[in-house]
């Protein structure tokens, strides 16, 4: 894992936007794994700004989102589906048929998970997977304890994740209890991974993912087993790691 230390959220977003744009511009066809949450929102804004200024085309970009809540309709404003259209897809020229997000309303959610994984296998894994990180080290919705060999599956969200995500809902009770998520094995199929972290609330998870052996107590720590990972963390997110070790050794 390579670490890129940046000053703040803005610098992290600019790095990520450029990284993604370079991929889009240098490939005829590109499969992007995308994430939700507050972390990538500014990155997506920067992609939109670039689109408006430079007309970078998304006609040959195919997207595969990490996860979706179970039991929420795609047009529900709290769905990750709605999130992605609001924050990115509605503002760029990506064909709707190129967008893939698990269907949380599927009649057969287990079959939905199997089909989603098969679709990713068909393309041989995404070219670039964008990830945020949960305060407890989760990636996608793979909570601590998730075996590293899990593929796309249905999860019961932990209370801490439901609480962290309740800011998007009117009340805590409205946060769904389950979600469908790419598994850790699915994420590891990506050719390249870009993980973003900003703010003090991520400092503990960032510290754990870089120190010690990969372990299911911190799902993000599995990324040590992947050959092509870049972690972009701002000063606050990297603060605990810096107190523990000399991060200069990790910087690219």
Q: Please give the positions annotated as active site.
A: 67, 136, 138, 143
Tell the smallest beta-carbon distance from residue 152 to ligand GLP (Å).
13
Binding segment (CB under 6 A) for ligand GLP, from list 87-95, 99-107, 134-142, 222-230: 134-142
Tell the smallest beta-carbon distance from residue 201 to ligand GLP (Å).
7
Among 63, 161, 186, 221, binds ligand GLP (CB under 6 A): 161
Please tell me whether residue 137 binds ligand GLP under the rule CB under 6 A: no
Q: Hey, which residues between 64 and 83 contact ligand GLP (CB under 6 A)?
A: 66-67
| Count of residues that interact with ligand GLP, criterion CB under 6 A | 14
Among 141, 194, 205, 219, binds ligand GLP (CB under 6 A): 141
Please tell me whether residue 104 binds ligand GLP under the rule CB under 6 A: no
Dist. CA 249–CA 170, nearest whole Å: 44
Dist. CA 98–CA 161, nearest whole Å: 29
């Amino acid at each position: 894992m390579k670490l890129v230390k940046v000053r703040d959220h803005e610098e992290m977003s600019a790095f990520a936007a450029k990284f993604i744009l370079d991929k889009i511009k240098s490939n005829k066809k590109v499969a992007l794994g995308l994430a939700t949450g507050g972390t990538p929102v500014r990155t997506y804004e920067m992609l939109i700004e670039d689109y408006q200024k430079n007309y970078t085309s998304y006609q040959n970009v195919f997207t595969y989102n990490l996860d979706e809540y179970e039991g929420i309709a795609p047009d529900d404003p709290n769905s990750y589906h709605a999130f992605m259209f609001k924050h990115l897809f509605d503002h760029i020229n990506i064909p709707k048929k190129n967008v893939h997000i698990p269907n949380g309303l599927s009649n057969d959610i287990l079959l939905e998970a199997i089909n989603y994984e098969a679709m990713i296998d068909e393309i041989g894994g995404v070219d670039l997977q964008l990830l945020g990180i949960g305060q407890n080290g989760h990636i996608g919705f793979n909570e601590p304890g998730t075996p590293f060999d899990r593929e796309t599956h249905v999860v019961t969200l932990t209370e801490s994740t439901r609480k962290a995500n309740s800011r998007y809902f009117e009340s805590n009770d409205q946060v769904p209890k389950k979600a469908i998520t790419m598994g850790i094995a699915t994420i590891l199929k990506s050719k390249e991974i870009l993980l973003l972290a900003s703010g003090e609330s991520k400092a503990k998870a960032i510290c754990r993912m870089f120190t010690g052996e990969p372990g299911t107590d911190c799902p993000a720590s599995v990324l040590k087993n992947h050959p092509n990972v870049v972690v972009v963390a701002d000063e606050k997110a990297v603060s605990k790691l810096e107190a523990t070790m000399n991060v200069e050794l990790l910087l690219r």
